[in-house]
Structure 1
Amino acid sequence: MDEPGEIGRRVQRMRVERGLTQKQLAHPSYTSAYVSTLESGKVRPSETALRFLADRLGTSYEELATGRPAHLATELRLALTDAQRTLATGAADEAAVHYRRLLAEAEELGFVPEQAQARLGLGECALESGELPAAIGHFEEAERLLADEPLTRRARPVRGRAVAHLLAGELRYACYLLESAIDELGASGLADPDALVLLHAAVIGPYMDMGAHARAAHSAELALALAPQVSDPALVAGMHRQVARTFLAEGRMADADASLAKAQAIYGHLQLTTDLAHCHWMRGYVLAQNGELGSAERELRTARDMLSARRAGLYTAQVEVELADVLRRLGRHEEAAELLAALLELGTSHGAVHAGGAHRLLGLMAEERGEPESAEEHYVQALALLERSGATGDLADLCRLLGDLLRRTGRVEAAMDAYRTGLGHRAAPGTTTLGPAPAAAFRSARVSGSRWVADRVE
């Protein structure tokens, strides 16, 4: 809104142009004295007053408050919707071009909500492209622009920032951001179903990776209960996609697959290509956990091809790690090694969890080739990456692998250290990012560790 003096002069000009007296303009809700005071710039009009006067003057609230015709904001919002459609169905870099242009227009016109929407779009584009620092910056700026708005309006940039930190391997901080927003919503009494489902669905992934299974299940229950009140079908689909992970952790394979089928049907209807690819990705993961490796390979290849076509570099690389795991388990080691080598050339910018997973797989293949030194080197690098990220399930599995390797090479004390580290992390079906569920295997590591303790005591 402009300064009172500018608004007052604008009201007076429009009133005179329309041949109205101050009394005629004010009737029936205000007095001519109020209009006179407003036109002289001595009072800042409320939004209610300006909307009344705009209606009497035959103009829009936006034009009366800012001097900019309302059609500019409408056209900008329509263009932002088009950019969002491009992001959903086309390539992220193409959508980013549109968003940058619209952001510049919104800044020039001083349209703050539209600036925030453009920043949100740019953040989503950066996530797909794997430019995580840029994504975080865009989401932070969107939050700043919406700082005076209720948290329900700020939920999407908060969720976007949390996802960017999650993809960077900063699981604890992602949880902190989402939990803080959920707590703030509860404390403020803003029980908005859309915002709550968005935040609860987003926190399931990091909870699962950190081994906080009870919290993940609780968020899943709340999201499912609120889903009937949510108007955005894409939001409901995203919720089903995340809830599938909690079903998987509980061994409910049929329920996990049913949730993914619901999500896939919605995404297909809405033509949301990236989200549809994520469904294929998750179904491949479910099938791999269940030992259906041929079907898992098909789903993961479908996901990779869809994401690659959209030039979604970060997600493509992460799917390729999981595909490499399936190929290794099928005995196709050379294909798996090629995929992993390409990922590691990109560095850890494509996610510490999946980079750690790549080193884990390379370690397994080195062991199978009879190269224990190379295997140990990869396991140690994976351990460093996963400890930093807090991916509890993956850590437990990796500590078992490293402990077993050290024990076989005669380094009992070092093996015990690895087992002890792993004993602090719970591993259950669906909590590791890669490979078969490690629960049974790690139970054997606990027994093995106990046996070595007994031997040492004797």
Structure 2
Amino acid sequence: MPGPGNVGERVRNLRLTRRLSQAQLAGHDLSDSYISLIESGKRTPTPTVLRMLAERLGCTPEYLAEGVEPEQRAHLEVRERHAHLALLDGDPVGAETAFEEVLARSDDPDLTSRARWGRARALEELGRTEAAIALFEELREQAERDPGRASWLPPVIALARCYHTVGDLGQAIALGERALARLQHFGLTVGQEYTEAGRILLLAYVDRSAPERAHALGRRMLTSDAAEGDQPSTHYRRASSRALEEGAVGDSLYFAEQALAVRGGAPIRAQALLNLAAARALLRGVTPFTAEVVTEPERAAAAEALDLLGGTSVLEGAEATESTIERARALVLVGEPEQAIASLEDFLDTGMALAAPVAGVPAPERGTDRAARVRKTVQARLVLARARIAQDDRTGALVVLNSAGGQLKDLPPSRPAAHIYRELGELFEAAGETDGAANAYRQALEAVGLRPSRPQAAACDLGLV
């Protein structure tokens, strides 16, 4: 455990334990009044004085300064790195426990900051997004107070992602736009930060029903400076130099570290996620039910989305599932519903285990995770129904839609659930089932806390259609 309190309190506690007076501790080199000022927290001892006091108190200067002996600090450093490895290996429960241990035992500002970041990421992975937001907000405030030690960008991008997850689109867009503007200011239009900030903005624009902004951003990002041929490390190094010239030391250090981390290779997964978000933006709003009513611009957008989705094969888990669903949606739009049906039926036949609880994850997280999985399964069924309608198989479409409606009952009320109910209503209408459509529209509005008498009209008023 770290020594109690601050430097002064540790000096006083050790002095009393050793049964020394302030004058005895001061010796011939210091004054007893100076010792009194140190113990009261009114003076901070220099490194030279710390070494002198540590020798007389029988401890190490590191203990007086940080409350942790060198061996303890080394142990905590290793524990913190192991926690990050556990997070990368898909064990957020173990990672969070380890980060909590480091935070409880360390007084070192840098180690504590890294552990807080890791714990916030673990909480985010566990679905405890509100708790993660609180930690990321603390890290953002810390970076704003001391820009010479830490970059403001990582916590802001993480906050944009978390606010999007909880449905606060206004905050997600505001933070994402600020992060993207800062990156562009430093000339950094490649790399993990740029693609992640852009991806979050694309999704938020789409969810905010702003497809024009999403399309414009997606095209700008997909034709960024990456086409120049330079390695990402070169771009990070340039950004680091520019930040240093402007006195943004925290950003400069962060970009330099990223240059070292990515040297020799591009962030493939980050680019795949950006491709997926851009494809979603292209496909949102293009939802005809038969191949005959697809316009040429819509067909071209769907074809472009298919090309983008071809670069998402490295994705796994929920991200791979989303890519499968969006690819099937694009296939329907380009007039290939048979391929869409084949891929979706294969996913639904082999993907039912996705709804099973996750071993080792506490009950609240299992519930959050299950809701996300149910949404993905329902979205797959809706695209499958859309493909059936494109084949003029309305009976088959209704079977799929009724199954999807039954699964939706497991979802808690939310705006994402409302969007799914709205699409369910549209598809019931397209299949000629007016009662099912009316019920779906009613449930869409109830999911956002409204009970209007004219469901479809009110859905338009809410921006759900």
- TM score, norm. by length of structure 1: 0.57
Q: Which residue of 2 aligns with 1:340?
A: 348
Change (3 A) 1:122 1:277: farther
Residue 256 of structure 1, CA deviation = 1.5
Cα distance in structure 1, aligned partners of 2:455 and 2:216: 35
Q: Using the TM superposition, give the Cα deviation of residue 68 of structure 1 relative to its aligned residue in structure 2, in angstroms.
A: 2.2
- How many residue pairs get aligned? The number is 363
RMSD: 5.3
Report SS of the residue matched to 1:399: helix
1:63 is aligned to: 63
- Aligned with 1:152 (options 141, 150, 153): 141
- 1:370 is aligned to 2:394: yes
1:375 CA drift (Å)? 4.0
1:32 aligns with 2:32: yes
2:359 aligned with 1:357: no
Deviation at 1:349, TM superposition (A): 3.7
SS in structure 2 at match of 1:346 = helix
Q: Among residues 25, 45, 48, which one is paired with 2:44 in the alignment?
A: 48
**SS at 1:242's partner residue?**
helix
Q: 1:372-430 CA distances to partner (integer Å, 9 max, x unpaired)? A: 54144145347657782303655544432233435568998998965245323325xxx
Alpha-carbon separation, structure 1, partners of 2:311 and 2:457: 40
- Matched-pair contact (CA < 8 Å) for 2:99–2:115: yes
Equivalent of 1:402 in 409, 416, 428 = 428
**Structure 2 residue corresponding to 1:121, chosen from 109, 118, 122:** 118
Given the alignment, which residue of 188, 198, 201 partners 1:243? 201
CA–CA distance in structure 2, aligned partners of residues 426 and 389 of structure 1: 14
Instruction: Give the CA deviation at 1:338.
Output: 1.7
CA-CA distance at 1:238 after TM superposition: 2.3
Q: Which residue in the other structure is 1:194 paired with?
A: 153
Once the 2 structures are TM-superposed, how far is the Cα of residue 239 of structure 1 from its aligned partner? 1.9
Q: 1:57 to 1:327 in 2, by over 3 A?
A: farther
Partner of 1:419: 456
Aligned amino acid, residue 35 of structure 2 = V
Q: 1:358 to 1:410 in 2, by over 3 A?
A: closer
In structure 2, relative to structure 1, the CA distance for the partners of 1:250 and 1:71 (3 Å cut) is: farther
Q: Distance in 2 between matches of 1:123 and 1:400?
A: 39
Instruction: Rate the CA distance shift 1:344–1:278 in 2: closer, same or farther, 3 A.
Output: same
Kindly tell me: are residues 259 and 224 of structure 1, through their superposed partners in 2, closer, same or farther at Cα, counting changes over 3 Å? same
Distance 1:85 1:322, change over 3 A: same
Q: CA deviation at 1:193?
A: 4.8
Distance in structure 2 (CA, Å) of the matches to 1:137 and 1:6: 36
CA positional deviation for 1:326: 3.3
CA contact 1:359–1:381 (8 Å) conserved in 2: no
One-letter code aligned to 2:11 = I
Q: Structure 1 residue 307: deviation in Å?
A: 2.8
- What runs of 5+ residues in structure 2 fail to find an aligned partner? 146-150, 233-257, 285-297, 356-369, 442-452
In 2, distance between residues paired with 1:150 and 1:105?
17
Aligned twin of 2:235: none
Instruction: Summarize the Cα distance change of 1:390–1:97 in structure 2 as closer, same or farther, 3 Å threshold.
Output: closer
Q: Distance between the aligned counterparts of 2:164 and 2:437, measured in 1?
A: 36
Structure 1 residue 244 displacement after superposition: 3.7
Aligned partners of 1:67 and 1:410: how far apart in 2? 66
Contact kept, 8 Å, 1:103 with 1:114, in 2: the verdict is no
User: What SS does the aligned partner of 1:424 have?
Assistant: helix
Shift of 1:22: 0.9
Counterpart position of 2:315:
307
Match of 1:320 among 324, 327, 335: 324
Match of 2:4 among 2, 6, 9: 2
Give the Cα–Cα distance (whole angstroms) in 2 for the partners of residues 221 and 195 of structure 1.
14
Structure 2 vs 1, CA of residues 299 and 150 (structure 1 numbering), >3 Å: closer, same or farther?
closer
User: How many Å separate the matches in 2 of 1:50 and 1:243?
Assistant: 48
Q: Match for 2:270 among 275, 290, 311?
A: 275
Q: Secondary structure at 1:307's aligned position in 2?
A: coil
Displacement of 1:152 in angstroms is: 1.6
Paired with 1:106 and 1:12, the residues of 2 have a C-alpha distance of: 28
Q: Relative contact order: is structure 1 or structure 2 higher (C-alpha 8 Å, sep ≥ 6)? A: 1
Structure 1 residues 253 and 24: alpha-carbon distance in aligned structure 2, compared to 1, 3 A threshold:
farther
Structure (1 or 2) with the greater helix fraction: 1
Instruction: Point out the more displaced range, 413-422 or 67-76.
Output: 413-422
Give the AA of the match of 1:253. Answer: H
Aligned to 1:437: none
Aligned match of 2:90: 92
Q: Which residue in the other structure is 1:296 paired with?
A: 305
Specify whether residues 408 and 69 from structure 1 end up closer, same or farther in structure 2 by C-alpha distance, changes over 3 A only: closer
The Cα of 1:297 is off from its aligned counterpart by 3.9
Tell me the residue number matched to 1:175: none
CA contact (8 A) 1:220 1:243 kept: yes
Task: Give, in whole Å, the separation in 1 of the partners of 2:399 and 2:314.
Answer: 34
* Aligned equivalents of 1:229, 1:252: Cα separation in 2: 21
3-state SS of paired residue (2:463) = coil
Distance 1:410 1:102, change over 3 A: closer
2: CA distance between counterparts of 1:194 and 1:44? 37
